[in-house]
Each structure stands twice: as structure tokens, then as C-alpha cells.
Structure 1
Amino acid sequence: MISVETKVVTYDEKNLRLDKWFRKHYPSLPHNRLEKLIRGGNIRVDGCRCKSNLRLEEGQEIRIPPLANRNIIVKKVKNTIPQKRFIDLILNSIIYKDEKIIVLNKPPGVAVQGGSKQKEHIDGMLDYLKFEYKTRPKLVHRIDKATSGILVLGRLEDITTKLTEAFKKSLIEKIYWAIVIGKPDKDVGIIDASLIKQTGKHFEKMEVNFELGKRSLTEFRVISGLSNKFTWIELRPKTGRTHQLRVHCSYIGTPILGDGKYGGKLKTITSINGNELFLLARGIRINLNDINEKVFYAPLPKHMKDAFEHLGFDASEGHSFD
């Protein structure tokens, strides 16, 4: 017997209209029937009634009524079984686990969610993080593939919902460390620059647009610098836009080292390889009603540790949560 399904909106599907999402996954579902199912409340997003032109957000759950018994062809997505090497890599990156959450120190170069050319990603191996539970944990936020550091997973449905909402509303405090090219004009400041996704071929690229963009705020603080060539800065995002820190650093004239997309094209610091992004999700502080205050920090990944040693930066000078 075919039952109701629930599917989660992935990162590459965000901002897609609901009707186009169905066209992608259920190409033979007639549009008039889709509209009827939506109007009747049979299709819901995050448990709520919706319209066909709803713009989806990453992490939302779509309720799908039984369709296959009405001769509907479901577009099958090829499931790739993660290799043992990748499974071990993620298992070894766990820095905390209790009955409510799992916290990872995500390695650089590991994608959080899949895409058309991304076969290995954390979302694809969550079955291996169930441990004693019957259900797999869920992503409650994401960080870029090139960024290393703290990534939180929710283990219980109610906790996952509350954490996801808290991250969306920027109620979770976050600290990032970055090595940037150049030196900001001020040692402490707030970057207030609205962001919007570029149209055209740069689908994954954001730009500053004060008229049409969403307001985006980042606090920054200079921690140490090597003359005016390289600077270690602390970033505290107050909103959570795509590529926010990378665009904001570029906007103030100090792109993150290794970030060719946003101006950090310098490839090396003499003997230090600069092909990797020098951005670390250093810390997260969670303080919700259902979760007692918890603070997590990630160590420097090898490429940043090598750069710190080469540039004479002392990681102990970095600030923690107040």
C-alpha cells in the first residue's frame, strides 16, 4: 500500500517554486491535478497549506500524497552508497553527541549536501549516524563545501525543527576565523551590505545590491596581521545569507585568501598552498529552552594551521564567546 511521503528541500533546490519542484521530481503529474492537490491541502510544506508559486527554502519538508497508484511516474534519483573511506572520515569528525544533537568538525572540501556533480556529501550518509536511533539525524544548517568547522545535526524531530528555525532567525551565535588579503580600514566594525543572487550563468554567486537584496549584517574584528598583506580576522554573522562572509569580506576590499570566486585569487603564501579556502567555522553557541547552553569550537584545519605558523599568528589570541 502506497503511503504519504515526506521529502526535504535540498540546497540546490532552494528558491525553486513548488510547482517547478514537482515538475522536476514528478514530470508526468498533470499541472491541473497538482493544483487541485495543493488547493485541497493534500500537498503541504512544513505542515502548512501553500500555493503553487511558493518559493522553497532549504530544509523545508514537502508532504506528498500517494501518487504512484494514479499512473504517476516518479523521477528516480540514483542512490550512491558512500564509500567506507568517506563514512569513516565523517564518523571521525564527530566532536560531540548526546540524545538531541550531533556536532561535527566538518573537514574542508566535504560537501554538506549533494548537487549534480557531487557524489559524496554528509546528507547522503546520515543513515550511518543513526547510532541507537531508528531515524537518521537531520541537517539544521549548512556551511560551504570549502569551509571547515562546526556543523550541527538534530537527532529528534522537535529539536530539529527548533534548531532549524533558530538558525534561520540567526538566534544561534557563530564565530568564524578567516585569513584575508589586505587589511580592513578599521580594526572593528559592522558590514551592512544587502545581498542578492546574481542572475544568469553565476547561479551560485551572490552580489551586493542595496535596492533588491536582503539585508545582511556581519560583525568583524581584526585579531592579527602581517603588515598590510595578510590579516587574521574574526567574523560574527548576524544574518545567514548564502556566501555572506565571503562576499562581505570582498566588499570591504579584503577578500578571503583562496576564494577565487570573490576576489581572493592569490594562490600561495610563499610555501603555503592557497588553493583551499582560508575560512573556518570556529565556534557555535546554542542556548535554547530545550537545550542547555552549549559551546563548541573547531580547531584549525591543517592548511590554516600551516598558514598561521608561517605568518606568525597565535591561535590563542582568538576571542571566544563572551
Structure 2
Amino acid sequence: MSGEARSFTVGDDDDGIRLDRWFHRHMADASFNIVSRWARTGQLRVDGKRVAPGDHIAAGQVIRVPPLEAPAPAAARPKKDRPPLSPEDEAFVQGLVLHRDRAAIVIDKPPGLATQGGTKTERHLDGLLDGLQFEAEGRPKLVHRLDKDTSGVLLLARSSGAAAYFSKAFSSRTARKLYWALVTGVPSIADGMIELPLAKQPGTGGEKMHVDEKEGSPARTRYRVVERAGNTAAWVELQPHTGRTHQLRVHMAAIGHPIVGDGKYGGQDAFLTGGVSRKMHLHARRLRVDHPGGGVLEVAAEPPAHFDESLTLLGFDRTLGDSMPFDQPKFSETPEGKKKAISAAAKARRKDRKGERRSRGSR
């Protein structure tokens, strides 16, 4: 394909990943060698600056991608076919489907299944997507992610057009997600907002996040205590207003109430005694997003067995859940709102300076 350079805005789900990984996710036709050549010749830019394939990118940044020229027929490499899924894998992934229409498939991702492959991760959802093609021309596309040990609602797009539509909904934060979690202890405020900036923790290779008041990216999480088990644990609903890596896990640990089973951020304080499972108790319960065909798509997923068993063991009443409404994103939280706010501030500064010059001239 040839033509003019294109611009792409980095979405929240790609916050912090390497640039070459972004191309692997969103422009598989651009090989690592092509991306390296673009970077070496200065054609590839992020926010107008030269970059290297190994540089990390952040949500909201703009990637300038030069035209991708079609390879000469002689140079074209044969496409590497993926091995067909076994009947067991096909039945497994189709059994996860909660909703299906012409534009979208929504699945209930089980805990322990990674969304995408990586080091020492051979079995993952991305490798099972051929089993969800059904009558469509191609396999569905991932538009957001869940951590490996987080369960629940995950949206897939069934066409490139739908993928672009849904990706914009997530990056502009008009898509809303609501999670259930069990946490140790009980927050003193029953319905609150956590506003703590997050950044990659030095020395962890980008695998762990931490609160960083100086260099961190803004992160906001609303939470509501559904019910408490004495002072031992609480069942909470969580609604992220931003989409930072591990945001819910870091925020709850930062206020002293780590998610049950999250030893990475809560250490030993993240585990309960009395037979409560040591698995992660974080579940993407509900998703609400505008549908490209019109209307709103809203889907809910039941918690996995270990989570459900813990609710029963701790004496929680399942009928008390799902009472937290979806918050509407503030205009200032969206990328468009931020750009207009920055533009308005710059205009005000120019106006102030102009007034200063006139005042000096009248003296």
C-alpha cells in the first residue's frame, strides 16, 4: 500500500508498551526491519520527534507512520499459516462467548488465560481467535486487554472498521468498565475516588507500576464498598476513569487495601486465611460501549468459581452487587478535551502578554 503518511493516537491499552510492539499489534504488515528503517531514516515520529523501535510510548501520543509500500512480488515472503485449532480448543473458546453480532463479540475471559503471548506464554487468547471467526471474513481483533489473572468481560471487533470504532471509544474513554474485587480490610470511605499518578517502577523492567507524584501519569479510580466481612475484607465495585497499566491493583494497594490474591502489589497482606482462595479476586463485571450500528452495547459476566466461592465463604449477599452506575467521562478527561483545554490556556497566555505590551506602551 502506498500514499500519504498517517497519524495514530496511542490508546490507553497501549500505554507504556514498546513502539515495535505497537506495530506488531496494530500494523502487522510493517515488519521489524521496515519499522527500523523508518526510524533510522527519520520517517517515523512520535509527537514530532525521532524515535527508535525499542522506545516506550504513552497514551495520548501521536505516531506518524510513513506510507507502507507494497513489496515486489519476488520479495514477498510466504505467509506463515497458523496451525488449525484442535476441536477441544475451538469448543473452549466458543464456550466463552457472551454476545455476538455483526460488529462485536464479547467473551468472558477466564483467569489464568493471557490476552496475548509473550515470554514463556504459549497459550493465550490471541492464539485462539481463529475459533471465533464464525461467518466473518477474518478472525476477530483485540481492542483492549485484561491481565492474565483478571477475569471477565472482554470485547473483540469482527472487522477492521469495528476495531477502529471500538479502539477510539476506549482511547477517548467513552467506553466504561466496571469491576468487582475483594480486598483485604475495609476502606474507611464507603464511596470514594482515588487520584494517584502512576509510573513504571524503576528496576522492574516495566513489569510493575507504582505511585509517582512527580513523574507519574494521572490516574483516577472510583470505588464503592458493596459489603464488608467485619474488618477482615470488603467486596468493592471499581470503575477506572483512566486506563493505566495495573491501575486498579496499584490504587487499591496504595490506600492500604490490596486486592485479595494480588501478591505482586500487596505482598502477604493480599492473602486471607480461612480457606479463601489465593487466586486473584479481580473481575471485569460489566462493559458499556456505544455500538457502531447504533445504540449501546452493555454486557455482564458472572464471576469465576473461586471468586463466587469466596463471596459465599465470607457471607456476602450477591443481590447487593451491580448498584454502582456508570459514570460519564468528564470532558476534561478525554484526549479531545485535554487538547482544547491546552489550546485555551495557551490562547489566554497570549492574550495576557498582549495586554502587558499594550500597558507598557501606554505608560
Structure 1 unaligned residues grouped into runs of 5+: none
Deviation at 1:101, TM superposition (A): 0.4
Deviation at 1:200, TM superposition (A): 2.1
Distance across 2 between alignment mates of 1:71 and 1:13: 34
Alpha-carbon distance change, 77 to 132 in structure 1, aligned in 2, over 3 angstroms? closer
Question: CA contact under 8 A between 1:29 and 1:73: conserved in structure 2?
Answer: no
Structure 2 unaligned residues grouped into runs of 5+: 3-9, 25-29, 326-363
Q: What corresponds to 2:148 in structure 1?
A: 145
Question: CA contact under 8 A between 2:252 and 2:259: conserved in structure 1?
Answer: yes
- Matching of residue 15 in structure 1 with residue 17 in structure 2: yes
Read off the aligned partner of 1:120 and give its amino acid letter.
R
Question: CA contact under 8 A between 1:178 and 1:278: conserved in structure 2?
Answer: yes
Higher deviation after alignment, 87-96 or 232-241: 87-96
Q: What corresponds to 2:349 in structure 1?
A: none
Alpha-carbon distance change, 92 to 186 in structure 1, aligned in 2, over 3 angstroms? same
Deviation at 1:286, TM superposition (A): 1.5
Distance across 2 between alignment mates of 1:17 and 1:183: 40
Q: What corresponds to 1:258 in structure 2?
A: 261
Deviation at 1:272, TM superposition (A): 2.9
Question: CA contact under 8 A between 2:14 and 2:22: conserved in structure 1?
Answer: no
Equivalent residue runs for 1:44-63 within 5 Å: 51-53=50-52, 55-56=56-57
Question: CA contact under 8 A between 2:184 and 2:258: conserved in structure 1?
Answer: yes
Q: What corresponds to 1:272 in structure 2?
A: 276
Alpha-carbon distance change, 51 to 33 in structure 1, aligned in 2, over 3 angstroms? closer
Q: What corresponds to 1:119 in structure 2?
A: 122
SS of alignment partner, residue 273 of structure 1: coil
Counterpart of 2:295 (choices 276, 292, 296) is 292
Normalised to the residue count of structure 2, the TM-score between the two structures is 0.72
- Matching of residue 35 in structure 1 with residue 40 in structure 2: yes
- Matching of residue 248 in structure 1 with residue 248 in structure 2: no
Distance across 2 between alignment mates of 1:219 and 1:170: 14
Question: CA contact under 8 A between 1:80 and 1:119: conserved in structure 2?
Answer: no
Write the deviation string for residues 117-172 of structure 1: whole angstroms up to 9, x where unpaired: 11111111222211111111111111111011000011122221111111122211
Read off the aligned partner of 1:166 and give its amino acid letter.
A
Q: What corresponds to 1:308 in structure 2?
A: 311
Q: Which protein is bigger by CA-based radius of gyration?
A: 2
Alpha-carbon distance change, 286 to 31 in structure 1, aligned in 2, over 3 angstroms? closer
Alpha-carbon distance change, 192 to 114 in structure 1, aligned in 2, over 3 angstroms? same
Q: What corresponds to 2:322 in structure 1?
A: 319
Normalised to the residue count of structure 1, the TM-score between the two structures is 0.81
Counterpart of 1:224 (choices 224, 227, 240) is 227
Aligned CA RMSD, in angstroms, stands at 3.8
Distance across 1 between alignment mates of 2:293 and 2:199: 34
Question: CA contact under 8 A between 1:191 and 1:218: conserved in structure 2?
Answer: yes
SS of alignment partner, residue 295 of structure 2: strand
SS of alignment partner, residue 263 of structure 1: helix
SS of alignment partner, residue 126 of structure 1: helix
Alpha-carbon distance change, 138 to 195 in structure 1, aligned in 2, over 3 angstroms? same
Counterpart of 2:189 (choices 176, 186, 189) is 186
Write the deviation string for residues 34-63 of structure 1: whole angstroms up to 9, x where unpaired: 634x63xxx799xx99954475579x9977
SS of alignment partner, residue 107 of structure 2: strand
Read off the aligned partner of 2:274 and give its amino acid letter.
T
Q: What corresponds to 2:334 in structure 1?
A: none
Percentage identity across aligned positions?
34
Number of positions where the alignment pairs a residue of Structure 1 with one of Structure 2: 306
Read off the aligned partner of 2:40 and give its amino acid letter.
E
SS of alignment partner, residue 161 of structure 1: helix
